[in-house]
Amino acid sequence: MSQIKEQSADYQLTDLAPVLKVVDAGNILLESLPVWLSAQTRKSAGRGRSAENTLQYGVQKLRELILELAVRGKLVSQDPNDEPASLLLKKIAEEKSRLVKEGKIKKQKILPPVSIQELLFQAPAGWGWTRLGVLFNSIISGGTPSKNNPAFWGGDIPWASVKDLGKARYIRSTQDFITEEGLKKGSKLADVGDILICTRMGLGKTAICESPIAINQDLKAIKMSSHVSVDFFLNAYTTIDIKGTGTTVAGITQDKLLNYPIALPPLAEQQRIVKKVDELMALCDQLEQQQADAVQAHDILVKVLLDALTQSENAEGFQQNWHRIAEHFDTLFTTESSIDQLKQTLLQLAVMGKLVPQDPNDEPANILLEKIAVEKARLVKEGKIKEQKSLPEIREIETPFALPAGWKWAHVEDVAQLITSGSRGWAKYYSNEGAIFITMGNLSRGHYHLRMDDIRYVNPPKSGEGARTKLVENDLLISITGDVGNLGLVPENFGDAYINQHTCLLRFMPECQNRYFPELMRSPLANIQFNAPQRGVKNSFRLSDVGEMIIPIPPLAEQHRIVKKVDELMVLCDQLKDRLNQAQTLQQQLANAVVEKTI
């Protein structure tokens, strides 16, 4: 990891310095590179997170800052020999007049000059403030041919909508195509070189036409004046604070688009700015790739070391390997992904019997299972639980790893007194108060804490069919459709509560109502089994699948020792993650502060 960091530092100084040391702003960027490199944030990626989902916040802010500096005249030096923007604006007006006279464009209404109150910053000498519409020779809106007329669709004319923009700078093809008749009846055609601007739903999205393309009503096709650099305009447009209005979908009117103020540099300076922006963005790409490579190398290193941890032969071997890893915590566990990997490894070690030492004086698990079997037989005889079907003996070939002395493999059904799911038809019992109604949205991925930020309530009849799934303390809930394996553990004094048909209720025998089993059910061993069955369109689990899961049973005394050790180590992991989040928040604040200082 130190080698990776050294390479990163060399890259910053040798590759970025010559480009950034152009103006004072460039020096600020260079001095602030550690901030850009350190400032990261994460986005959720559904089931789990990975290095690929890391948003490099610092580089993103650096890109934004480069564009801000560019459009404010702080990225390249001004040249007093450049033709000033005032003359450029006269040429733009003359070009429009000529095109109107030739019948190539329609006469546009005169836009008001930019007032002092609208000036966003002090433009450099030679620049001039104007409005976007002044730079456009023409602007057209598109439309959508009737979807009910098949004669309009499936032709060879590409038809662009919001979903086609934002993928690349240039656009040649689209997801939908229309016919000549569809073009005549409902749309308009943008020419090669026209700039497409989204004014609804995807505000800020742009693209340049590489071929003639029809557009829908959410897009505008712009023909830019020949006296304005298209690339400079697109860079400047990304910095405009576009705020849409609308009750359902935000949008801006054409009049609002035309009236946005913009600082216009001399044409020669526009071209220098574009060149410099391209150079800096290319370096940002390299920097981003380098960071991605470093994160990937880091994740591989963490995985290799954690995999080695699970290969520990016993608790003593685990302690030795653990101390080696603990010495390098500061360099190994520096991302949420690596900390989550650590948690999963610890849980796997726990269920493998490698987290705490075995005690030969503990009553072995086979005795515990025999006692449970006797107790279950008594409860069946008394009619308190239903008789469960006998499952075949677990063969050695079915077991994923060897167990320590005193442990034994069992099926979940062997230690459960009830495995069931909720009933249907709960909607008619919905209420503003009453019993809590637990759905899959209340279960957690990677843990068994119930998420109670969004609670539903029901008032079912006491003798109804749903009464059989009334929850009690220590019931473990498992999602069995869609995202299989999400969990929830019913705590003490939870009150009346029920579940729907998408949730399994797993009630362990009293001897097994401790937290070893919830920890086991969120371990990699359990997740492998949750992910195995694939039935139908969605991943699904039958109740019988839950009962047939194979699980390692330690002696009861060791179960309690395992839970205690897991709690200690999970606290450590959470502290690591808290410190990481605090550091990332600070780095983001520093990155934002550098932006404010620079512009």
The pLDDT score that the predictor gives to residue 260 is: 95
Highest mean pLDDT among 52-66, 235-249, 578-592: 235-249
Least confident of 197-211, 256-270, 283-297, 387-401: 283-297
Q: Both 51 and 144 in a single domain?
A: no
Check: CB of residue 450 under 8 Å from CB of residue 489: yes
Least confident of 143-152, 192-201, 282-291: 282-291
pLDDT reading at 43 higher than 50: no
Q: Both 208 and 95 in a single domain?
A: yes
Region 570-590: what's the mean pLDDT?
Answer: 78
The pLDDT score that the predictor gives to residue 118 is: 92
- Domain boundary (265, 293, 322) is at 265
Does residue 13 lie in a domain region? yes
Q: Both 49 and 194 in a single domain?
A: no
576 pLDDT band, cuts 50/70/90, is: confident
Q: Both 28 and 103 in a single domain?
A: no
- Alpha-carbon torsion angle 13, 15, 20, 22, nearest 10: 110
Region 431-453: what's the mean pLDDT?
Answer: 91
- Alpha-carbon torsion angle 228, 230, 233, 235, nearest 10: -140
Counts for the chain of helices (H) and strands (E), in that order: 19, 23
Does residue 569 lie in a domain region? no
The pLDDT score that the predictor gives to residue 352 is: 93
The predicted-structure confidence for 217-234, as pLDDT tens digits, reads as follows 999 999 999 999 999 999
- Domain boundary (265, 292, 317) is at 265
pLDDT reading at 408 higher than 60: yes
Q: Both 531 and 451 in a single domain?
A: yes
Q: Could you tell me the CATH number of the domain that includes residue 204?
A: 3.90.220.20
The pLDDT score that the predictor gives to residue 6 is: 35
Does residue 298 lie in a domain region? no
Mean of per-residue pLDDT scores for the chain: 84
The predicted-structure confidence for 168-191, as pLDDT tens digits, reads as follows 899 988 999 999 999 998 899 999
Q: Both 120 and 238 in a single domain?
A: yes
Structural domain range at position 150: 85-265
As a whole number of angstroms, the distance between CA 164 and CA 58 comes to 28
| AA identity, residue 452 | M
Burial of 213 (0-12, 13-18, 19+ CB in 10 A): buried
Q: Both 374 and 432 in a single domain?
A: yes
Least confident of 317-326, 465-474, 555-564: 317-326
| Local structure of 10: helix, strand or coil | helix
The pLDDT score that the predictor gives to residue 305 is: 80
- Alpha-carbon radius of gyration of the chain: 33
Q: Both 150 and 32 in a single domain?
A: no
Does residue 580 lie in a domain region? no
Q: Both 370 and 470 in a single domain?
A: yes
339 pLDDT band, cuts 50/70/90, is: confident
Region 354-383: what's the mean pLDDT?
Answer: 93
The string of DSSP codes covering 247-308 is SSS-B--HHHHHH-EEEE--HHHHHHHHHHHHHHHHHHHHHHHHHHHHHHHHHHHHHHHHHH
Q: Both 62 and 92 in a single domain?
A: no
How would you write 311-326 as a 3-class SS string?
A: CCCCHHHHHHHHHHHH
The pLDDT score that the predictor gives to residue 49 is: 36
Region 316-329: what's the mean pLDDT?
Answer: 75
Does residue 170 lie in a domain region? yes
Q: Both 41 and 131 in a single domain?
A: no
Q: Both 392 and 500 in a single domain?
A: yes
In the chain, pLDDT over 70 holds for what percent of residues? Answer: 85
The pLDDT score that the predictor gives to residue 514 is: 94
Check: CB of residue 344 under 8 Å from CB of residue 336: no
The pLDDT score that the predictor gives to residue 289 is: 84
Check: CB of residue 521 under 8 Å from CB of residue 350: no
Q: What Å distances lie between residue 142 and 68, 111, 230, CA to CA?
A: 31, 23, 21
117 pLDDT band, cuts 50/70/90, is: very high
User: Which residues touch 396 (CB under 8 Å, ≥6 apart)?
Assistant: none
The domain tally of the chain equals 3
Does residue 472 lie in a domain region? yes
